[in-house]
Amino acid sequence: MRIMITGGGTGGHTSPAVAIVEELRKRDPRLVVQWVGRKGGIEQKVAAQADIPFRSVPVEGWPRRRSIRRAWAMAKLALGVARAMLYIKSFRPQAIVGVGGFVCLPLCYAAQRLGVPTFLHEQNKRLGMANQLLAPRATRLLLSYPETLGRYPADKSRVVGNPVRAGFLHPPTQKNAREVLGLDPHIPVVLVTGGSQGAHALNAAMRDAIRSFAPKDAQFLWMTGVTDATAAREAAAQSTAHIEVFPFIQDMVTACAAADLMVCRAGASSSAEIAAMGKPSILIPYPHATDNHQEQNARAFEQAGAAIIMLDDECTGERFAQTIRDLLEDPGRLAAMAKASSSLARLGAAEAIVEEILTHVFE
Protein backbone atom coordinates (compact mmCIF):
# COMPACT_ATOMS: atom_id res chain seq x y z
CA MET A 1 0.00 0.00 0.00
CA ARG A 2 1.18 3.52 -0.82
CA ILE A 3 0.11 6.32 1.55
CA MET A 4 1.08 9.98 1.89
CA ILE A 5 0.52 11.74 5.22
CA THR A 6 0.59 15.48 5.77
CA GLY A 7 0.21 17.97 8.58
CA GLY A 8 2.17 19.42 11.45
CA GLY A 9 3.18 22.69 13.01
CA THR A 10 2.61 21.33 16.54
CA GLY A 11 2.92 18.06 18.41
CA GLY A 12 -0.89 17.98 18.52
CA HIS A 13 -0.86 17.24 14.79
CA THR A 14 2.27 15.10 14.53
CA SER A 15 1.53 12.63 17.34
CA PRO A 16 -1.70 11.32 15.73
CA ALA A 17 0.16 11.06 12.43
CA VAL A 18 2.77 8.78 13.99
CA ALA A 19 0.05 6.70 15.66
CA ILE A 20 -1.71 6.23 12.30
CA VAL A 21 1.53 5.21 10.57
CA GLU A 22 2.29 2.74 13.39
CA GLU A 23 -1.08 1.07 12.82
CA LEU A 24 -0.71 1.10 9.03
CA ARG A 25 2.68 -0.61 9.36
CA LYS A 26 1.14 -3.27 11.61
CA ARG A 27 -1.49 -4.01 8.97
CA ASP A 28 0.88 -3.86 6.00
CA PRO A 29 4.59 -4.61 6.64
CA ARG A 30 5.31 -3.55 3.05
CA LEU A 31 3.70 -0.15 3.50
CA VAL A 32 5.35 2.66 1.51
CA VAL A 33 4.73 6.03 3.12
CA GLN A 34 5.85 9.63 2.67
CA TRP A 35 5.28 12.63 4.93
CA VAL A 36 4.77 16.04 3.34
CA GLY A 37 5.19 19.19 5.44
CA ARG A 38 7.15 22.37 5.90
CA LYS A 39 10.94 22.28 5.80
CA GLY A 40 12.33 22.87 9.28
CA GLY A 41 8.95 22.30 10.94
CA ILE A 42 8.40 19.94 13.86
CA GLU A 43 6.93 17.44 11.38
CA GLN A 44 10.30 17.03 9.65
CA LYS A 45 12.00 16.07 12.91
CA VAL A 46 9.17 13.72 13.91
CA ALA A 47 9.18 12.06 10.49
CA ALA A 48 12.91 11.39 10.80
CA GLN A 49 12.45 9.87 14.27
CA ALA A 50 9.67 7.62 12.93
CA ASP A 51 11.75 6.61 9.87
CA ILE A 52 9.28 8.17 7.41
CA PRO A 53 10.68 9.76 4.22
CA PHE A 54 9.92 13.50 4.21
CA ARG A 55 9.09 15.92 1.38
CA SER A 56 8.72 19.66 1.87
CA VAL A 57 6.33 22.20 0.41
CA PRO A 58 6.46 26.01 0.77
CA VAL A 59 3.54 27.10 2.92
CA GLU A 60 2.73 29.80 5.48
CA GLY A 61 -0.07 30.19 8.01
CA TRP A 62 -3.00 32.35 6.99
CA PRO A 63 -2.81 35.78 8.70
CA ARG A 64 -5.94 36.44 10.75
CA ARG A 65 -5.78 40.17 10.05
CA ARG A 66 -5.96 41.71 6.59
CA SER A 67 -2.47 42.62 5.45
CA ILE A 68 0.00 42.26 2.60
CA ARG A 69 1.07 38.99 4.21
CA ARG A 70 -2.13 37.40 2.93
CA ALA A 71 -0.98 37.87 -0.66
CA TRP A 72 2.39 36.34 0.27
CA ALA A 73 0.70 33.40 2.01
CA MET A 74 -1.53 32.81 -1.03
CA ALA A 75 1.46 32.87 -3.39
CA LYS A 76 3.32 30.32 -1.24
CA LEU A 77 0.20 28.15 -1.07
CA ALA A 78 -0.12 28.15 -4.87
CA LEU A 79 3.53 27.15 -5.21
CA GLY A 80 3.04 24.48 -2.54
CA VAL A 81 0.04 23.02 -4.40
CA ALA A 82 2.04 22.87 -7.65
CA ARG A 83 4.89 21.04 -5.92
CA ALA A 84 2.45 18.72 -4.14
CA MET A 85 0.92 17.75 -7.48
CA LEU A 86 4.37 16.71 -8.70
CA TYR A 87 4.90 14.62 -5.55
CA ILE A 88 1.54 12.89 -6.02
CA LYS A 89 2.15 12.11 -9.69
CA SER A 90 5.58 10.71 -8.85
CA PHE A 91 4.61 8.72 -5.73
CA ARG A 92 1.15 7.58 -6.94
CA PRO A 93 -0.46 7.22 -3.47
CA GLN A 94 -3.63 5.22 -2.94
CA ALA A 95 -4.74 7.66 -0.25
CA ILE A 96 -3.75 10.92 1.42
CA VAL A 97 -4.12 11.38 5.18
CA GLY A 98 -4.26 14.95 6.54
CA VAL A 99 -3.81 15.47 10.27
CA GLY A 100 -4.40 19.23 10.35
CA GLY A 101 -2.43 22.42 10.53
CA PHE A 102 -2.03 24.81 7.60
CA VAL A 103 0.84 22.66 6.29
CA CYS A 104 -1.64 19.99 5.16
CA LEU A 105 -3.41 22.35 2.74
CA PRO A 106 -1.13 22.02 -0.33
CA LEU A 107 -1.05 18.22 -0.49
CA CYS A 108 -4.71 17.64 0.41
CA TYR A 109 -5.93 20.33 -1.98
CA ALA A 110 -3.78 18.92 -4.77
CA ALA A 111 -4.99 15.38 -4.03
CA GLN A 112 -8.61 16.44 -4.19
CA ARG A 113 -8.04 18.09 -7.56
CA LEU A 114 -6.33 14.94 -8.84
CA GLY A 115 -9.04 12.61 -7.54
CA VAL A 116 -6.96 10.90 -4.86
CA PRO A 117 -9.00 9.85 -1.76
CA THR A 118 -8.33 12.18 1.19
CA PHE A 119 -8.91 11.35 4.83
CA LEU A 120 -8.86 14.25 7.26
CA HIS A 121 -8.43 13.88 11.01
CA GLU A 122 -9.46 16.61 13.45
CA GLN A 123 -7.93 16.36 16.92
CA ASN A 124 -9.66 19.31 18.58
CA LYS A 125 -13.23 19.93 19.63
CA ARG A 126 -13.36 22.90 17.24
CA LEU A 127 -12.67 22.13 13.59
CA GLY A 128 -9.49 23.84 12.37
CA MET A 129 -9.45 26.27 9.45
CA ALA A 130 -7.54 23.91 7.13
CA ASN A 131 -9.99 21.07 7.75
CA GLN A 132 -12.98 23.37 7.26
CA LEU A 133 -11.62 24.33 3.83
CA LEU A 134 -10.84 20.76 2.83
CA ALA A 135 -13.84 18.93 4.36
CA PRO A 136 -16.38 19.43 1.52
CA ARG A 137 -14.23 17.43 -0.96
CA ALA A 138 -12.80 14.95 1.55
CA THR A 139 -13.50 11.22 1.35
CA ARG A 140 -13.87 11.10 5.13
CA LEU A 141 -13.65 13.60 7.99
CA LEU A 142 -12.57 11.73 11.12
CA LEU A 143 -13.46 13.49 14.37
CA SER A 144 -12.23 13.20 17.95
CA TYR A 145 -15.38 14.59 19.61
CA PRO A 146 -19.04 13.83 18.80
CA GLU A 147 -19.99 17.49 19.35
CA THR A 148 -17.27 18.98 17.14
CA LEU A 149 -17.78 22.70 16.50
CA GLY A 150 -17.48 24.16 13.00
CA ARG A 151 -18.87 23.72 9.50
CA TYR A 152 -18.46 20.34 7.83
CA PRO A 153 -20.55 17.83 5.86
CA ALA A 154 -22.06 15.54 8.50
CA ASP A 155 -22.59 12.69 6.03
CA LYS A 156 -18.82 12.43 5.48
CA SER A 157 -17.88 12.54 9.17
CA ARG A 158 -17.14 9.70 11.57
CA VAL A 159 -16.28 10.00 15.27
CA VAL A 160 -13.17 7.89 15.89
CA GLY A 161 -11.31 9.67 18.70
CA ASN A 162 -7.76 10.98 18.73
CA PRO A 163 -5.12 8.29 18.11
CA VAL A 164 -2.18 8.08 20.49
CA ARG A 165 1.16 6.36 20.05
CA ALA A 166 1.31 2.70 21.00
CA GLY A 167 3.36 3.39 24.13
CA PHE A 168 0.49 5.27 25.78
CA LEU A 169 -1.78 2.27 25.26
CA HIS A 170 0.70 -0.14 26.89
CA PRO A 171 2.53 1.90 29.56
CA PRO A 172 4.68 0.50 32.37
CA THR A 173 3.13 0.16 35.83
CA GLN A 174 3.37 3.14 38.14
CA LYS A 175 5.77 1.18 40.36
CA ASN A 176 8.11 0.31 37.48
CA ALA A 177 7.97 3.84 36.08
CA ARG A 178 8.99 5.31 39.43
CA GLU A 179 11.85 2.84 39.72
CA VAL A 180 13.13 3.86 36.27
CA LEU A 181 12.95 7.55 37.22
CA GLY A 182 14.46 7.10 40.68
CA LEU A 183 11.37 8.31 42.52
CA ASP A 184 10.11 7.36 45.99
CA PRO A 185 7.23 4.87 45.54
CA HIS A 186 5.40 6.21 48.60
CA ILE A 187 5.30 9.95 47.82
CA PRO A 188 2.81 11.41 45.29
CA VAL A 189 4.22 12.41 41.91
CA VAL A 190 3.10 15.45 39.94
CA LEU A 191 4.06 15.79 36.25
CA VAL A 192 4.15 19.42 35.11
CA THR A 193 4.60 20.23 31.44
CA GLY A 194 3.86 23.10 29.12
CA GLY A 195 4.61 21.09 25.99
CA SER A 196 7.81 20.74 23.99
CA GLN A 197 8.40 24.53 23.92
CA GLY A 198 7.37 25.04 27.55
CA ALA A 199 4.77 27.47 28.90
CA HIS A 200 6.13 30.59 30.55
CA ALA A 201 3.03 31.39 32.66
CA LEU A 202 2.91 27.83 33.97
CA ASN A 203 6.64 27.82 34.72
CA ALA A 204 6.46 31.16 36.55
CA ALA A 205 3.65 29.88 38.76
CA MET A 206 5.56 26.66 39.43
CA ARG A 207 8.66 28.55 40.56
CA ASP A 208 6.55 30.19 43.29
CA ALA A 209 4.45 27.13 44.10
CA ILE A 210 7.24 24.65 44.83
CA ARG A 211 8.55 26.76 47.71
CA SER A 212 5.66 25.59 49.90
CA PHE A 213 6.11 21.84 49.37
CA ALA A 214 7.95 19.68 51.90
CA PRO A 215 9.82 16.45 51.01
CA LYS A 216 6.91 14.19 52.00
CA ASP A 217 4.23 16.30 50.27
CA ALA A 218 5.03 15.58 46.63
CA GLN A 219 7.68 14.83 44.02
CA PHE A 220 7.70 16.82 40.78
CA LEU A 221 8.70 15.99 37.23
CA TRP A 222 8.85 19.40 35.57
CA MET A 223 9.34 19.82 31.82
CA THR A 224 10.07 23.49 31.27
CA GLY A 225 11.19 23.90 27.67
CA VAL A 226 14.70 25.16 26.96
CA THR A 227 14.13 28.88 27.70
CA ASP A 228 12.96 28.50 31.31
CA ALA A 229 15.10 25.52 32.34
CA THR A 230 17.85 27.50 34.11
CA ALA A 231 15.45 29.58 36.20
CA ALA A 232 13.47 26.44 37.04
CA ARG A 233 16.58 24.62 38.26
CA GLU A 234 17.48 27.58 40.47
CA ALA A 235 13.98 27.56 41.99
CA ALA A 236 14.07 23.78 42.43
CA ALA A 237 17.39 24.01 44.30
CA GLN A 238 15.70 26.25 46.90
CA SER A 239 12.85 23.80 47.53
CA THR A 240 13.04 20.91 49.97
CA ALA A 241 10.80 18.72 47.79
CA HIS A 242 12.22 16.28 45.23
CA ILE A 243 12.02 18.15 41.91
CA GLU A 244 13.45 16.90 38.62
CA VAL A 245 13.73 19.62 35.95
CA PHE A 246 13.88 18.69 32.25
CA PRO A 247 14.03 21.02 29.25
CA PHE A 248 12.38 18.14 27.37
CA ILE A 249 11.23 14.66 28.41
CA GLN A 250 11.99 12.12 25.70
CA ASP A 251 10.16 9.22 27.37
CA MET A 252 6.85 10.89 28.15
CA VAL A 253 5.09 7.53 28.51
CA THR A 254 7.17 6.60 31.56
CA ALA A 255 6.80 10.09 33.07
CA CYS A 256 3.01 9.94 32.69
CA ALA A 257 2.87 6.42 34.11
CA ALA A 258 4.74 7.56 37.23
CA ALA A 259 2.39 10.48 37.92
CA ASP A 260 -0.59 10.71 40.27
CA LEU A 261 -1.55 14.09 38.80
CA MET A 262 -0.72 15.91 35.57
CA VAL A 263 -0.52 19.68 35.15
CA CYS A 264 -0.38 20.76 31.52
CA ARG A 265 -1.79 22.66 28.55
CA ALA A 266 -4.90 21.29 26.84
CA GLY A 267 -3.57 20.54 23.37
CA ALA A 268 -5.28 17.77 21.44
CA SER A 269 -2.53 15.17 21.80
CA SER A 270 -1.91 15.91 25.48
CA SER A 271 -5.64 15.56 26.14
CA ALA A 272 -5.80 12.24 24.28
CA GLU A 273 -2.75 10.89 26.12
CA ILE A 274 -4.16 11.93 29.51
CA ALA A 275 -7.40 10.10 28.71
CA ALA A 276 -5.63 7.02 27.36
CA MET A 277 -3.66 6.69 30.60
CA GLY A 278 -6.60 7.66 32.84
CA LYS A 279 -4.83 10.50 34.65
CA PRO A 280 -6.47 13.29 36.69
CA SER A 281 -5.27 16.69 35.58
CA ILE A 282 -5.11 20.42 36.06
CA LEU A 283 -5.43 21.96 32.60
CA ILE A 284 -4.18 25.45 31.72
CA PRO A 285 -5.38 26.11 28.15
CA TYR A 286 -3.05 28.14 25.93
CA PRO A 287 -4.99 31.42 25.60
CA HIS A 288 -3.75 32.30 22.10
CA ALA A 289 -4.60 28.98 20.41
CA THR A 290 -6.51 29.34 17.14
CA ASP A 291 -10.26 29.75 17.84
CA ASN A 292 -9.47 29.13 21.52
CA HIS A 293 -9.57 25.41 20.78
CA GLN A 294 -7.51 24.44 23.85
CA GLU A 295 -10.16 25.81 26.19
CA GLN A 296 -12.80 23.86 24.25
CA ASN A 297 -10.74 20.69 24.79
CA ALA A 298 -10.30 21.46 28.48
CA ARG A 299 -14.02 22.13 29.01
CA ALA A 300 -14.81 18.63 27.73
CA PHE A 301 -12.59 17.21 30.50
CA GLU A 302 -14.03 19.57 33.10
CA GLN A 303 -17.61 18.61 32.19
CA ALA A 304 -16.74 14.94 32.56
CA GLY A 305 -15.24 15.56 36.01
CA ALA A 306 -11.76 14.57 34.80
CA ALA A 307 -9.92 17.88 35.22
CA ILE A 308 -9.76 21.26 36.92
CA ILE A 309 -9.32 24.22 34.58
CA MET A 310 -7.10 27.14 35.48
CA LEU A 311 -6.90 29.99 32.97
CA ASP A 312 -3.58 31.69 32.28
CA ASP A 313 -4.47 34.90 34.14
CA GLU A 314 -5.54 32.85 37.18
CA CYS A 315 -2.29 30.90 37.24
CA THR A 316 -0.53 32.25 40.34
CA GLY A 317 1.93 30.34 42.49
CA GLU A 318 -0.36 30.47 45.51
CA ARG A 319 -3.38 29.12 43.65
CA PHE A 320 -1.26 26.56 41.85
CA ALA A 321 0.16 25.19 45.09
CA GLN A 322 -3.21 25.10 46.84
CA THR A 323 -4.97 23.33 43.96
CA ILE A 324 -2.24 20.68 43.72
CA ARG A 325 -2.22 20.21 47.49
CA ASP A 326 -6.03 19.91 47.73
CA LEU A 327 -6.09 17.19 45.10
CA LEU A 328 -3.17 15.19 46.50
CA GLU A 329 -4.80 15.26 49.94
CA ASP A 330 -8.05 13.81 48.54
CA PRO A 331 -7.30 10.35 47.08
CA GLY A 332 -11.01 9.69 46.55
CA ARG A 333 -11.37 12.72 44.32
CA LEU A 334 -8.22 11.82 42.39
CA ALA A 335 -9.60 8.31 41.81
CA ALA A 336 -12.92 9.71 40.57
CA MET A 337 -11.14 12.11 38.21
CA ALA A 338 -8.97 9.27 36.90
CA LYS A 339 -12.07 7.17 36.18
CA ALA A 340 -13.72 10.11 34.41
CA SER A 341 -10.56 10.69 32.38
CA SER A 342 -10.52 7.05 31.24
CA SER A 343 -14.15 7.38 30.15
CA LEU A 344 -13.10 10.00 27.58
CA ALA A 345 -10.53 7.73 25.92
CA ARG A 346 -11.16 6.12 22.56
CA LEU A 347 -8.43 3.52 22.62
CA GLY A 348 -9.18 2.15 19.16
CA ALA A 349 -8.85 5.48 17.33
CA ALA A 350 -5.84 4.53 15.19
CA GLU A 351 -7.46 1.20 14.27
CA ALA A 352 -10.73 2.94 13.33
CA ILE A 353 -8.93 5.45 11.11
CA VAL A 354 -6.93 2.74 9.35
CA GLU A 355 -10.12 0.69 8.84
CA GLU A 356 -11.71 3.69 7.11
CA ILE A 357 -8.67 4.05 4.85
CA LEU A 358 -8.47 0.34 3.99
CA THR A 359 -12.21 0.09 3.33
CA HIS A 360 -12.03 2.83 0.70
CA VAL A 361 -8.70 1.84 -0.81
CA PHE A 362 -9.67 -1.80 -1.30
CA GLU A 363 -13.43 -1.59 -1.82
Report all structural domains of the chain as residue ranges with CATH numbers, in order of start: 2-163+348-361 (3.40.50.2000), 168-343 (3.40.50.2000)
The C-alpha angle 113, 117, 120, rounded to 5 degrees, equals 100
Q: Looking at residue 342, what is its pLDDT?
A: 95
pLDDT tens for the chain, 363 residues long, are 999 999 998 878 899 999 999 999 999 999 999 999 999 998 999 999 999 999 999 987 766 666 677 776 778 889 999 999 999 999 999 999 999 989 999 999 999 999 999 999 999 888 888 999 999 999 999 999 888 878 899 999 999 999 998 899 999 999 999 999 999 999 999 999 987 555 888 999 999 999 999 999 999 999 998 889 999 999 999 999 999 999 989 899 999 999 999 999 998 888 999 999 999 999 999 887 766 788 988 998 999 999 999 998 888 999 999 999 999 999 999 999 999 999 999 889 999 999 999 999 887
pTM above 0.85, yes or no: no
